[in-house]
Amino acid sequence: MKNESGVPNSRLEFIRDANVTKKEERTDRMEDYLEVIYELIKQKGYATMIDISNYLNVSSPSVTKMIQRLDESGYLDYEKYRGIRLTDDGIKIAKSIHNRHEILAQFFRMIGVDEEIANNDAEGIEHHLHHETLKKLEDFMTAMKDKRSPNKD
């Protein structure tokens, strides 16, 4: 869709993306991409632009841009006909975010939060918790489980 004044809608996305890029070295969004790519490769053996745009609910041009950026930052290698391959750094971040997501979602479910809300909240918070906080949360959950399990047997 493009109007006569010559301002395509993607122009706004362009500006928005450019401003996101300036803020910090690695953004939450970059981490989400790495996590999704990692999951896709794990489950299907490869990650396509279409899959990425579907799972992250973003436009194809945005995906293309972000893949370029992740490539330039050394988190993945992208070649047009070979597809996407995560580097060791990319895999490390993806696994860490995945792990953080699991811990947080599990904690929210543990305190009675509905599955969907638990996942939504984890999706945002996973990028921001200090690793020490996360470790404490894990310890706490393990302690809670240990308390519960004798009653179950």
Q: Residue 70, class by beta-carbon neighbours within 10 Å (0-12 exposed, 13-18 middle, 19+ buried)?
A: buried
Binding-site member from 32, 69, 76, 118 for Mn ion (CB under 5 A): 32
* Nearer CB in complex with Mn ion: 54/142: 54
Closer residue to Mn ion in complex, CB, 32/90: 32
Residue 61 CA from chain centroid, whole number? 18
Map tokens 């597809």 to a residue: 83
Helices of type H across the chain: 9-23, 28-44, 49-56, 60-72, 88-110, 115-125, 131-152
Q: Which residue, 8 or 124, has its beta carbon nearer to Mn ion?
A: 124
121 scored as a contact of Mn ion (CB under 5 A): no
Q: How far apart are CA 141 and CA 48, in angstroms?
A: 36
Amino acid at 83: G
* Number of residues in contact with Mn ion under rule CB under 5 A: 2
Residue 13 as a binder of Mn ion (CB under 5 A): the answer is no
- The SS3 call for residue 65 is helix
Q: Is 123 in the site for Mn ion (CB under 5 A)?
A: yes
The region of 7-15, 18-26, 27-35, 106-114 touching Mn ion under the rule CB under 5 A is 27-35
Beta carbon of residue 69, minimum distance to Mn ion (angstroms, whole number): 17
Task: Report the SS3 class of residue 76.
Answer: strand
The residue (of 77 and 123) whose beta carbon lies closer to Mn ion is 123
Options 55-63, 70-78, 115-123, 140-148: segment touching Mn ion (CB under 5 A): 115-123
CB of 86 to Mn ion, least distance (A): 17
Which stretches of the chain bind Mn ion, using CB under 5 A?
32, 123
